Chain A
Amino acid sequence: MKRLAWTTVAATALAAATPALATDVKLGVLNDQSGVYADLSGQGSVVAARMAVEDFDAEAKGINVEIISADHQNKPDIASNIARQWYDQDNVDVILDVPTSSTALAVADVTAEFNKIFINSGAATSDLTRANCQPTTIHWTYDTAALANGTGKAVTEAGGDTWFFLTADYAFGHALERDTTAVVEANGGEVLGSVAHPFPGTDFSSFLLQAQASGAKVIGLANAGADTVNSIKQAAEFGIVQAGQKLAGLLLFINNVHSLGAETAQGLQMTTAFYWDQNDGTREFSERFQAEVGAPPSMVQAGVYAGTLHYLKAVEAVGSNDSEAIVAKMKEMETDDALFGKGYIRKDGRVIHDMYLMEVKAPDESTGEWDLLKQVSTISGEDAFLPMEDGGCAFALAE
């Protein structure tokens, strides 16, 4: 499948500058370029990968990097076809990003079959490092367990001890509900019920009324993208929040908050792995990124940058594009970059780094179009992600 948007980055290094040592690697950014997740991954992720190559100065270190990208349209069949063709025909070494759980699981399997490397940033499902884990998968940015441990725990501890879930009726929605339920119950809360809505949905009023009738203090939105945005909007329309219930968007991206507007979204809490305005490092990167893309990076795009950077470090250390050696090196080396700080990669492929609980600013607190969030607390990586022992990743536990 030639969904090609060839972006040759550092094509041919001068033979004189890099003698026989040069390593060629090819990165494939596979994500949603036209659908609901195009804004938070899409071309922005391609730009992020390219910036990582430039910042690493790969060429000078004898690594020739080529980046290609394609649109998987959020369909697992298309994703697996492209991945197969990339590995089989186009000699791609590593696939990056891949938002949505179903496509990510498909690419993880294909990658294992070809023994290449898959660095996921966009997908949420914690199954990538649990039941469906693969030795060749690295899951960078976030997962459903971390989201639950962030928002779910914070909201429950703040007194929201009865929950009702509005769940998108597909794998991701159910995984998010499952992981959040575990966290709510572990913190002394109670789940009163849930309703699964068809995915994608347009009208959520009926489900919102059921949530209202449950009398739960918190309505947990176990959905994503446009579904979450519409649920929040319609909850405002039906006066759900004014009537005293609290909404908890379990997966919200900065782009969603932006499209909701601070007026509607203010006060919402969300868990994120990255926010552009955290420190000098993130601000410096985001400024360069925004100049090219037009919006600051989402946590998914930030994860693509960090993952690419770490991969290139491992390639340099190994000195070849041997997948097994590179993965081993990546898991051995500490991760360290300007966006996520220091962290490490567990044996099961889970990247452990801090997560942050954020709150959407009120309109009068916000000083700019994208000045939308303020930090409430930091959740250490060990607390945020599910311990490997509980994850059930067979090959990691066997060793």
Chain B
Amino acid sequence: MSTSENTKVALPAMTHTVGMPRHQKIIFVLLLGVLLALPFMVYPVFAMKVLCFALFACAFNLLLGFGGLLSFGHAAYFGMASYVCAHAAKVWGLTPELAILAGTATAALLGLVIGSLAIRRQGIYFAMVTLAFAQMVYFFALQAEFTGGEDGIQSVPRNDLLGMFPMSDDLTFYFFVLAITYGGILFIYRITHSPFGQVLKSIRENEPRAVSLGYRVNRYKLMVFVLSATFAGLAGATKSQVFHLASLTDVHWTMSGEVVLMTLLGGMGTVLGPIVGAAVVVTMQNYLAYLGAWVTVIQGCIFVVGVLLFREGIIGVLSRILKKPL
């Protein structure tokens, strides 16, 4: 019974240089331009949903694409943060930035606990441990009093930002969400293109070598795990403020599967891939929803075609054609 632990996930060739190459600067500026114009073209709440999932997918990509660790339980951080944020805003009456902070901190803590156990395992066993813990978190969310079980936490208020600026208007709130998510994505980019990111890359490529070079591999792994959980939590917390709601959907294992789909579809290990993947998946769910169960069929087809033909994802393929890391 052999295992193929050594055959690594196919990734597009990346030449990381510290500092941002010029074409990537242009991309980030263009991206910001598009995102600033977005709420005037589509329904702002939909635009915010895209942003939240883009950040979630980027956080996941940090772990899978750059850390080489496939987590099958990222819904736990996303969902738990959204519950805590909703609770903080509704019951404690916290302002949005504090509520989101509380949610994010919870996700970070949860990531630290689960991560420190999970990183002791590798490959498929790692994925299974994360799944097992995520199922327990789901169970907790179902049973705990404050999460409201099947009902979730509903009618979560959007209090005034910093206690001063009213946020109930969706368009206004969009720019707050944009600041959070865009900042988060830039921060993730910075992490992956730092010396820390380079070490991660070396661990992903060849763990024993990284060990022999004297890196405390487990510490790096744990750090990237916690960072990934934190940003997933930031996305989840923000989402609960966007929708005034936290529910079981966000902690269910299908949510963990969805973020894998987004990352894979966009191109794992790329900077833009998760953002594009998230945008495509969310758009599809919104605009094809009238097709009912056919949406699942279409999603399934994307998985199959993606795995068989475009393992690098949309951005991965583009990046190969343009010969530039995107």
Please determine if A and B sit in direct contact within the complex, based on CB atoms under 8 angstroms apart.
Answer: yes
Task: Tell me the bound Cα distance from A102 to B150 in angstroms.
Answer: 6
Contact with A along B14-49 (1 / 0, CB 8 A): 000000000000000000000000000001011000
User: Does B43 lie within 8 Å of A105, measured CB to CB?
Assistant: no
Quote the shortest CB–CB distance from A228 to chain B (angstroms): 17
| Binding site secondary structure of chain A | helix
Contact with A along B283-323 (1 / 0, CB 8 A): 00011011011000000000000000000000000000000
Within 8 A of B (CB), among A73-109: 75-78, 80-81, 84-85, 88-89, 101-102, 105-106, 109
User: Does A77 lie within 8 Å of B249, measured CB to CB?
Assistant: yes
A4 close to B (CB within 8 Å): yes
**Closest chain B residue to A4, Cβ basis:** B290
Within 8 A of A (CB), among B219-272: 243-245, 247, 249-250
| With known contacts A2-B287, A81-B45, A171-B149, A34–B293 Cβ distance under 8 A | yes
Task: Tell me the bound Cα distance from A70 to B292 in angstroms.
Answer: 10
Interface size counted on chain A using CB atoms at 8 A: 31
User: Does A171 lie within 8 Å of B155, measured CB to CB?
Assistant: no
**Closest chain A residue to B44, Cβ basis:** A88
B154 close to A (CB within 8 Å): yes
B160 close to A (CB within 8 Å): no
User: Does A102 lie within 8 Å of B245, measured CB to CB?
Assistant: no
User: Does B290 lie within 8 Å of A105, measured CB to CB?
Assistant: no
Residues of chain B lying within 8 A (CB to CB) of residue A109: 154-155
Task: Tell me the bound Cα distance from A33 to B150 in angstroms.
Answer: 19
Quote the shortest CB–CB distance from A35 to chain B (angstroms): 10
Q: Per a CB cutoff under 8 Å, which of A70, A78, A84, A172 touches B45?
A: A84
| With known contacts A85-B45, A102-B151, A2–B289 Cβ distance under 8 A | yes
User: Does B151 lie within 8 Å of A81, measured CB to CB?
Assistant: no
Quote the shortest CB–CB distance from A158 to chain B (angstroms): 32
User: Does A105 lie within 8 Å of B45, measured CB to CB?
Assistant: no
Quote the shortest CB–CB distance from A104 to chain B (angstroms): 10
Quote the shortest CB–CB distance from A314 to chain B (angstroms): 26
User: Does B243 lie within 8 Å of A77, measured CB to CB?
Assistant: yes
User: Does B292 lie within 8 Å of A34, measured CB to CB?
Assistant: yes
User: Does B151 lie within 8 Å of A76, measured CB to CB?
Assistant: yes
Q: Per a CB cutoff under 8 Å, which of B45, B149, B290 touches A3?
A: B290
Quote the shortest CB–CB distance from B285 to chain A (angstroms): 9
**Closest chain B residue to A71, Cβ basis:** B292
User: Does A2 lie within 8 Å of B292, measured CB to CB?
Assistant: no
Task: Tell me the bound Cα distance from A113 to B149 in angstroms.
Answer: 23
Quote the shortest CB–CB distance from A102 to chain B (angstroms): 4
Within 8 A of A (CB), among B151-180: 151-152, 154-155, 170
User: Does B154 lie within 8 Å of A80, measured CB to CB?
Assistant: yes
User: Does B293 lie within 8 Å of A113, measured CB to CB?
Assistant: no
Task: Tell me the bound Cα distance from A169 to B292 in angstroms.
Answer: 27
User: Does B150 lie within 8 Å of A171, measured CB to CB?
Assistant: yes
Task: Tell me the bound Cα distance from A2 to B290 in angstroms.
Answer: 7
Task: Tell me the bound Cα distance from A171 to B150 in angstroms.
Answer: 6
Task: Tell me the bound Cα distance from A85 to B287 in angstroms.
Answer: 13
A285 close to B (CB within 8 Å): no
A170 close to B (CB within 8 Å): yes
Q: Mind listing 25 A-B residue pairs with CB under 8 Å? A: A2-B287, A2-B290, A3-B289, A33-B292, A71-B289, A75-B247, A76-B150, A76-B152, A76-B154, A77-B243, A80-B154, A80-B243, A81-B243, A84-B45, A84-B243, A85-B45, A88-B170, A101-B150, A102-B150, A106-B152, A113-B155, A170-B150, A171-B148, A171-B150, A199-B150
Given A76-B154, A88-B45, 16 more A-B residue pairs with CB atoms under 8 Å apart are A5-B290, A33-B292, A76-B150, A76-B247, A77-B152, A81-B45, A84-B45, A84-B243, A88-B43, A88-B170, A101-B151, A106-B245, A110-B155, A110-B244, A171-B149, A199-B150
